[in-house]
Amino acid sequence: MEASFAEFIERYPSEVYMKGQTILLKEYTPKSVYVIESGIARAYMITPGGAEHLVAIHLRGDDIPAGYSLGLRDTALYFYEAYTKCVVRAVPRAAFIRFLRSDPDALFRRQTRVETLLITTFSHIHALEQPRASDKIAFALLYMADNIGVRLRPHTTRLQLSMTQQEMADTLGLTRETIGVELRKLEVKQIISYSRKNYILYMERLRSYLDERS
β-bridge mates for residue 160, sequence order: 150, 200
Higher per-residue pLDDT: 129 or 74: 74
Beta-carbon contacts of 118 under 8 Å, excluding residues fewer than 6 positions away, are none
Separation in Å, CA 183 to CA 7, 124, 186, 198, 201: 43, 18, 5, 12, 11
pTM for the full model?
0.74
- Could you check whether 3-121 and 131-213 share the same CATH topology? no
Boundaries of every domain in the chain? 3-121, 131-213
Instruction: Quote the DSSP letter at residue 10.
Output: T
Across 11-37, average pLDDT: 95
Whether residue 155 is predicted with pLDDT greater than 60 in this model: the reply is no
Whole-angstrom distance, CA of residue 13 vs CA of residue 108: 25
Q: pLDDT tens, 172-211?
A: 778 888 888 888 888 888 888 887 778 888 888 888 888 7
Amino acid at 94: A
Amino acid at 138: A
Q: pLDDT tens, 95-109?
A: 999 999 999 988 898
- The CATH number assigned to the domain with range 3-121 reads 2.60.120.10
- Return the percent helix, strand and coil in the chain, to nearest 5: 45, 25, 30
The confidence score (pLDDT) of residue 157 equals: 67
**CA neighbor of 84 nearest in space, from 158, 19, 131:** 19
Q: What are phi and psi of 133, to 5 degrees?
A: -60, -40
Range in 96-105, 111-120, 124-133, 175-184 the model is least confident about: 124-133
Grouping H, G, I as helix, E, B as strand and the rest as coil, residue 164 is: coil
Is 131-213 a domain of CATH 3.40.50.261?
Answer: no
